Amino acid sequence: MYRGGLEDDLDDAAQEFVSSLQSDSEILPFDIAGTEAHVLMLYKSKIIPKADAKKLLSALRDIRTGGFDPMDMNQVFEDGHELLESWVTEKAGKRAGGRIQTARSRNDQVAVAIRMKLRHDTNMIQTGILQLVSALLELAADNTDTTIPLYTHLQHAQAGVLSHYFLAQAGILLRDYERFAGMYERLDSNPLGSGPVGGSSLGIDREITTRLLAFPDMVYNSLDATSSRDHISEFVSCVAIMCVGLSRMAEDLVIWASDEFGFVEIADRSASPSSAMPQKKNPDVLELVRGKAAGVIGDLVSVLAIQKGLASGYGRDLQETKEPAWRAAEVAAGSLHILFEVLTDITINKNRMAQAAESGNITALDVAEELVRHKVPFREAHLEVGKMVAAARRAGKHVLDLTKVEISGACGINPDTVARALSACTVEGSAERRRSSGGTSRQEQERMIRQVEESVGELFGELEEQRNDATANIGKMWQEIDEFLQR
Ligand code: ARG
């Protein structure tokens, strides 16, 4: 459509190579909305005649409501924008259609569609985060007295309660949420009306499209607006950070579902069989939450590398930032959904968890802290309890079961004091002893549950507003268009 200044048609191979039709299919609905806003603005700013505006808006409404499949078209277009212009021209006629790109370039056109799509995806991801946090909260509330071993280096560290684990995951996810929210503020700004790079001489009013497309603000500088993609870098980095976190949760659950641990069982509807071994119930979905996080890290590297060293002003390289961003968004939403499904239907084997905690010398630090209460310096207590644990291992028993004779053979602290310290410690009572803020005691668990509940409640409210601002306001534009077309 634009080749007036060129002698030949684009060569087939070049056509295929430059085409972004595939990745543009995902922004087409947003491109249509952006175009509707642009046309309405052109009319309101008296740049195009009313009759042509009507033809264009009516064609755009047909396309918007009639559905479209860009893949139906034979690939004679460089991208979705050219395709859209040709669709509109076909419906509205050459004269009206020929006005659609007045005071606009594909550079500001794609920039606004990308921002609208990422706004939509962020709302979806933030919803997924809050849903997953709610599922974690429910599990936490049910498990404030489910004893588990807490691990460091995947070795028994301290006895804890299962709610502590779920609350930790909820806390991580709420930070992911906040990260997306901060990014969203910078994303939510209108680049449309910047032309190819330097604006327009035709008297456009950018305030109008900013309002119609429900942006609280515009990206002011037209060079910045058309050629920056740091919002894509930020979006994908939010996704990557979140997916790395989710991959760790997935790995915990994979380990816990193993025969050796047997802490949890995932529901059949989330499990995969083996094609060979009839007994298998594999957590493939969780392995893929882990595995797909790798792709997202790659996507982040891609979008950063595409922009690195690129001269300012639009360069076609930027087209290549779309696919990694779309893919990252899909993995983010998918991973959140899978973990939600797995967790809402997971079987928790409380006995296995308690047994696992019993089997180690997991109370060793409790014993040392008990000795500190008896005025023993911590380092001395640590060393002496270490010797007792070694003696207990040699005797094939648990440190809490050492006799007085064994105690005095192993350590230099008064055996009566040690015996008293040992008798004060049990595996079941261990978590309750730690009442420090954010510790494992019941009171702290309940406090953290209340805190997270409050945050989630508030955030659901804020998110509802944020989603409404974007979607309901675009609904208003469509209403305005309907009224205009009736007049
Ligand atoms: N398909 C292009 C993209 O996604 C649209 C902008 C093309 N602009 C240009 N000057 N060739 O980035």
- Counting the structural domains of the chain, the total is 3
The CA–CA distances, whole Å, from 221 to 31, 107, 192, 230, 308 equal 21, 14, 11, 15, 20
Say if residue 46 is in the same domain as residue 163: no
Say if residue 248 is in the same domain as residue 197: yes
Residue 432 forms part of a structural domain: no
Say if residue 136 is in the same domain as residue 184: yes
CATH code assigned at 380: 1.10.40
Say if ligand 1 is within 6 A of residue 319 CB. Answer: yes
347-348 and 264-265 as β-strands: parallel, antiparallel, unpaired?
Answer: antiparallel
Which residue type is seen at 270? S
What local confidence, expressed as pLDDT, does residue 268 receive? 85
What local confidence, expressed as pLDDT, does residue 76 receive? 77
pLDDT band at 387 (very low <50, low <70, confident <90, very high): very high
Residue 213 forms part of a structural domain: no
Say if ligand 1 is within 6 A of residue 447 CB. Answer: no
Mean pLDDT, residues 415-444 taken together: 95
Mean pLDDT, residues 158-165 taken together: 97
| Whether residue 171 has pLDDT greater than 80 | yes
User: For 300-351, how does the pLDDT look when each residue is reduced to its tens digit (9 = 90+)?
Assistant: 999 999 999 999 999 999 999 999 999 999 999 999 999 999 999 999 999 9
pLDDT band at 72 (very low <50, low <70, confident <90, very high): low
Identify the residue whose C-alpha is closest to ligand 1 atom 12. 319
Question: Of 102, 133, 158, which closes a domain?
Answer: 102
Q: What is the 3-state secondary structure (H, E, C) of 222-248?
A: HHHHHHCCHHHHHHHHHHHHHHHHHHH
| Whether residue 73 has pLDDT greater than 70 | no
Considering the chain, what percentage of its residues have pLDDT values greater than 70? 98
Please give the Cα distance from 146 to 137 (Å, whole number).
Answer: 14
Say if ligand 1 is within 6 A of residue 106 CB. Answer: yes
Q: Cα of 81 to ligand 1 centre, how many Å? A: 8
- Mean pLDDT, all residues of the chain: 95
147-152 and 155-161 as β-strands: parallel, antiparallel, unpaired?
Answer: antiparallel
Residue 3 forms part of a structural domain: no
Residue 301 forms part of a structural domain: yes
Mean pLDDT, residues 409-437 taken together: 94
Say if residue 80 is in the same domain as residue 114: no
Say if residue 188 is in the same domain as residue 280: yes
What local confidence, expressed as pLDDT, does residue 467 receive? 95
Question: Of 85, 102, 119, which closes a domain?
Answer: 102
Say if residue 323 is in the same domain as residue 383: no
CATH code assigned at 82: 1.10.275.10
Say if residue 269 is in the same domain as residue 285: yes
Residue 6 forms part of a structural domain: no
Q: Cα of 356 to ligand 1 centre, how many Å? A: 59
Active site residues: 153, 274
Considering the chain, what percentage of its residues have pLDDT values greater than 90? 89
Residue 377 forms part of a structural domain: yes
Q: Tokens 């006995």 identify what position?
A: 351
Give the residue, out of 19, 83, 107, 326, with the most ligand 1 atoms within 8 A of its beta carbon, to mutate for a pocket test.
107
Domain of 39? Answer: 12-102
Residue 480 forms part of a structural domain: no
Say if residue 281 is in the same domain as residue 149: yes
Residue 481 forms part of a structural domain: no
Say if residue 176 is in the same domain as residue 63: no
What local confidence, expressed as pLDDT, does residue 71 receive? 64
Q: Which atom of ligand 1 is nearest to the CA of 78?
A: 1
pLDDT band at 160 (very low <50, low <70, confident <90, very high): very high
Say if residue 43 is in the same domain as residue 86: yes
